[in-house]
Amino acid sequence: MNKDTICALATPPGGALGIIRVSGSKTFPIVSTICSVCCDSVTGNTVHYTHIVDSDGEPVDETLVSVFRAPHSYTGEDSVEISCHGSSYILNKILELLVNKGCRMANPGEFTMRAYLNGKMDLSQAEAVADLIASTNRATHHIAMSQLRGGISTKLSQLREKLLKLNTLLELELDFSDHEDLEFADRKELFSLAQTIEAHINHLAHSFETGQALKHGIPVAIVGKTNVGKSTLLNALLHDDRAIVSDIHGTTRDTIEDTIDIHGVMFRFIDTAGIRQTNDKVEQIGIQRTYQAIEHARIVLWLFDSTPTTNEEAEIISHTQGRSLIPILTKADLRPACCKSIEGFDMISISAKTGQGIPALEQAIFAAADIPNLSETDVIITNARHYDALRRAHASIRRVIDGLQVQLSGDLLAEDLRDVLAILSEITGTQITPQETLNNIFSHFCVGK
Ligand SMILES: Nc1nc2c(ncn2[C@@H]2O[C@H](COP(=O)(O)OP(=O)(O)O)[C@@H](O)[C@H]2O)c(=O)[nH]1
Ligand SMILES: [Mg+2]
């Protein structure tokens, strides 16, 4: 492990205050040379008012210095946080002083990497720190917090315990392999346990789709004929003039996307070119993109301003199979709700102009997203690295199950089981993680974290 003492700015530039972090074995002697706090002799977890001074003894800033003594710090090492004024001159000056006294500027994520290497958190928790910093709404915040508190690790360690029990019994058999018919591991029990584990792994892997949707915004396509009010609805939902609205047919030719937060969940709305027969080449491409948007959407808002024809209805319904379809009658301010209902769907009547029906529509969109209850302890996978590991673990446990069905010998079963165990511990990093993987994970962090 790198023994350098590292420093970095932990706050974004431009604020009233800035925080500089220092961590490593030389933290206390180094910081003590630039201020009057004798870090070595003060109690850990204490805050001290002091002036930072430059090498000529000239004051640089009035600051608060927080002292954390190993192992009771974020990184597990001796650490200090200097809160100073946010001037870029002051911040650079203090960093320069620290570097001159023997610190090295930290790499992205290096503080968190040290926290992981010092056993303060496992790998999935360290990754959750980056997600927590990036979270922009209640849902992503909740998932990151749950992962940071060890949600995924707890779930995986439960699975690993079950697997280890199986594996021990199989290994025991191998030790007594000269007694041919000796079976310690009851094959029936093995089979049902392997199936339970497969179901658990499957469940976790499937949550990735929801996790991705929550992280990047649940895709909602707004579709319908030209001039039914699609762009007006997008603007009403966004409370912004994002898309051009006009009574000229075919105004929106490309897809326009933006995100909004509904009840703490991020939705990504895609306004599309209206569907109609046209000879305009650009508009035709736009219409193709409308169909692509429907394909990638989880929810489709189908807008019409008069009773849709049977053909239109059939076409939309066939194109939106497997997605939640919400039929919407627009421009309710122009006429009383007169449209016949669409069989099998709850139709909503709105006026983007007056705002009538918009809250009900937002409610319907939220319900259609079918978000798992975020207050439950259910773990949601959002990380592609975890998803990849789970898929490989699934393939290996599948081999165990298939092997049991064809009465494969204990040694071959044990090999596949060991694979599953190794893959699952990749996620939490409980087995030795190659430096390259660590660098890859932590390089996505911001400097100072
Ligand atoms: N009265 C009324 N007019 C609307 C409403 N929504 C849209 N419009 C009008 O319908 C025309 C087409 O709207 P637009 O949003 O561009 O439709 P798009 O082609 O489906 O995107 C514009 O003149 C809008 O002002 C509404 O709720 N009430
Ligand atoms: Mg439009």
- The predicted pLDDT at position 278 comes to 79
Neighbours of 396 (CB within 10 A): 22
- The predicted pLDDT at position 432 comes to 66
pTM: 0.73
**290 ligand 1 Cβ < 6 A:** no
Euclidean distance between CA atoms 330 and 344, whole angstroms: 19
Torsion-angle region of residue 119: left (phi > 0), alpha (psi -120 to 50) or beta? left
Measured in Å, residue 217 CA sits from the centre of ligand 2 at 21
Ordered per-residue pLDDT tens for the chain, 449 residues: 568 999 999 999 889 999 999 999 999 999 999 999 999 999 999 999 999 999 998 999 999 999 999 999 999 999 999 999 999 999 999 999 999 999 999 999 999 999 999 999 999 999 999 899 988 888 889 889 888 988 888 888 888 888 888 787 787 777 776 666 666 667 888 898 889 999 989 988 888 988 888 888 999 999 998 899 999 999 999 888 777 787 878 777 777 889 999 988 899 999 988 887 778 888 888 888 888 888 889 999 999 988 888 888 888 888 888 899 999 999 999 876 556 677 778 889 999 989 999 999 999 999 998 877 766 567 888 888 999 999 999 999 999 999 999 988 888 888 898 899 899 888 888 776 677 767 777 877 777 78
| DSSP-H helix ranges across 217-301 | 230-238, 281-296
Euclidean distance between CA atoms 241 and 402, whole angstroms: 57
Site to probe by mutation for ligand 1, drawn from 245, 254, 304 as the one with most ligand atoms within 8 Å of Cβ, is 245
Euclidean distance between CA atoms 215 and 196, whole angstroms: 29
- The predicted pLDDT at position 85 comes to 96
What's the DSSP call for residue 108? T
CB burial readout 335-363, b (16+ within 10 A) else e:
eeeebeebeeeebbbbbbeeeebbeebee
* Structural tokens at position 371: 């978000």
Measured in Å, residue 19 CA sits from the centre of ligand 2 at 47
Q: Atom 8 of ligand 1 has which residue's CA nearest to it?
A: 229
How many H-runs (helices) and E-runs (strands) does the chain carry? Answer: 14, 12
**Long-range CB contacts (within 8 A, 24+) of 278-282:** 278/250, 280/250, 282/253
- The predicted pLDDT at position 245 comes to 82
Instruction: State the ligand closest to the CA atom of 275.
Output: 1
- The predicted pLDDT at position 240 comes to 81
- The predicted pLDDT at position 16 comes to 95
Residues lying with their CB under 5 A of ligand 2, a single-atom ion? 230-231, 252
Q: Atom 19 of ligand 1 has which residue's CA nearest to it?
A: 227
CB burial readout 116-132, b (16+ within 10 A) else e:
bbbebbbbbbbbbbbbb
- The predicted pLDDT at position 446 comes to 77
Site to probe by mutation for ligand 1, drawn from 223, 226, 231, 232 as the one with most ligand atoms within 8 Å of Cβ, is 232
Neighbours of 329 (CB within 10 A): 26
**226 ligand 1 Cβ < 6 A:** yes
Euclidean distance between CA atoms 62 and 7, whole angstroms: 19
Inter-residue contact 250 to 278 (CB < 8 Å): yes
Measured in Å, residue 411 CA sits from the centre of ligand 1 at 69
